[in-house]
Chains A and B, each alone.
Chain A
């Protein structure tokens, strides 16, 4: 074990884990306001294809990320309209958003599969992911606005009675989530594996969803959880390459297994409060009540 090898491994872990951090922290904010958006994978894909196509057409990395984030805002805005205004079921709408996103991204990207681009250096985004997570941790724990966000997620009726606009705050939470998922997607298609291929996020959106539960809705723990998942996956590759036989299939399912354990733990009410799941998660808010 020499130092170059270890630095190399850390480098690969950082590059591989960053999209999980972006998507998971976005979804965390959405869930903190009491909305479950299962459309993470779909929004990531639309974000990825928008960034890629914009880059191919304009050649500008800035515009690529800008348009990608706008696409995330549009996708999540659509979701917000359906669940906040039309009061549709959040779980079903989120799943539909993922399926829609998979199809839409394939359609947009059809002509661009296999177009070579020059990848962008990922280090700015790696640092950005840490900055965003720590800023949000400060936001939720130390600012008044953060407490209002949490209040809306915990008990929307109380928040409403205190004069806060539940719908507006939830809209902000959903839009932020969409923007971050799109950022995660564009990071994938521009920095991580610079290409567009249909379904290229390959299930990372679902891992991000699992991470939110695993981190028990605490922003700092998103970093810990994401780096555990990312690190374990890269470590098992390293062990394989060192000639040690390892059950790779096990590591593919590990994130989900860990999440199920957390879900079982929070199904008991006492623990649920301890683990800080937003009490109003998935509950629709009707103004009249």
Chain B
């Protein structure tokens, strides 16, 4: 009996091997998500990207995702789990997976890794991110036209360059249209706390803001704006069905084309370690449909033209002359801010009141 079982096992293993090699194995692509794919924000967009990759590459790739992975040592276990289970390419989709990604990448030199919004790379680790500040230019332009109180309420998460860059790009564009505009900024010190985000939005509205801009992850601020009857911009994804009467537009993170391209490179064997910081020209940053109940058709046409100008490079978010709060020139007339300055941005431009918390 024992021998029979042994024999059967051997046959199974043999055929398993044979069948595996007989057919071209689809490549396996893994994703690590910080939230649930249904968050209608950051993770939702990454999952939309994954689905677009799957539909474009058909049967050539398989994909797996692990959701709600905290940005701590648990992330190492999750990434290692994907790497050890035969995944060829792994996308880690949040900034604070950076060291964890590097750690696992070091253990699995044959597996390719892609880390979103980070800056540490290796032969098998690429980084990628979007120039979301380009979308803030559009938002600032719209806000400059539409505000009646001239007070903009801006909810920041943490004072990191990504968020500060957005505030500056927004203000530069808004003040071009409306020099009297005033920014009121609340740092929530969280990415994710619907209650606190609503509190911040309500506080800003109470202080006279008639347009709410957010750089946190839930649609609570947009909902608060809807309830109070003021306007708002969604975040990371089209959130208009949560606040149809106040949602102007939103910056949409479109990862699909990038994921499809990188997976195709993997299949073709041409994958190499790169750093991608894609703007509107790559399609990685796009705008949600403009609300024609709140915006005039002229204004919509204006911002569509701005999108085109941002894509072809005739318009840049940070065109000189730009001064910092102390009045010192940081970008000269005729120049644009270089990527080094943008990536490390830790100052407000002239015209924004208050200090960045340290």
In the complex, whether B262 has a CB less than 8 A from a CB of chain A is no
Count of CB-CB pairs between chains A and B under 8 Å: 115
Q: Does A163 contact B (CB under 8 A)?
A: no
Please name all residues of chain B whose beta carbon is closer than 8 Å to the beta carbon of A247 when the two chains form the complex.
357
User: For the complex, is A58 an interface residue (Cβ under 8 Å from B)?
Assistant: no
Residues of B within 8 A of A240 (CB): 185-187, 354
The listed residue (B195, B196, B207, B220) touching A242 by CB distance below 8 A is: B207
Docked complex Cα distance between A241 and B155 (Å): 10
B188 adjacent to chain A (CB < 8 Å): yes
In the assembled complex, the CB of A233 is this many whole angstroms from the nearest CB of chain B, namely 7
Chain A: number of interface residues, binned into ranges: 35 or more
Does the CB pair B218–A241 fall under 8 Å?
no
Residues of A within 8 A of B68 (CB): 106, 198
Within 8 A of A (CB), among B68-98: 68
Question: In the complex, what residues of A have CB within 8 A of residue B60's CB?
Answer: none
Distance of B69 from chain A, by nearest CB (Å):
13
For B187, the closest partner residue in chain A by CB is: A248
Cβ distance B154 to chain A, nearest Cβ, rounded Å: 9
Question: B195, A16: Cβ atoms under 8 Å?
Answer: yes
B288: interface (CB < 8 Å): no
Interface hit among B133-141, B198-206, B308-316, B326-334: B198-206
Among candidates A106, A242, A245, residue contacting B36 with C-beta atoms closer than 8 Å: A106
Asked if B119 CB lies within 8 Å of chain A CBs, one says no
For chain B, give the interface size range.
35 or more
Are the C-beta atoms of B357 and A114 separated by less than 8 Å? Answer: no
Minimum CB–CB distance for B327 against chain A, Å: 17
Do the beta carbons of B36 and A5 come within 8 Å of each other?
A: no
Q: A8-B206, A241-B204 are in contact. Are A198 and B195 (CB under 8 A)?
A: no
* Contacts A195-B220, A197-B218 given; does A237 touch B198 at CB 8 Å: no
Decide if A198 touches B357 in the complex (CB within 8 Å): no
Q: Check if A237 sits within 8 Å of B39, measured CB to CB.
A: no
Q: Do A238 and B207 have beta carbons less than 8 Å apart? A: yes
Query: Do A241 and B357 contact each other (CB < 8 Å), given the known contacts A106-B36, A113-B39, A114-B39?
Result: no
- 4 tightest A-B contacts by CB? A8-B206, A113-B38, A193-B194, A243-B354
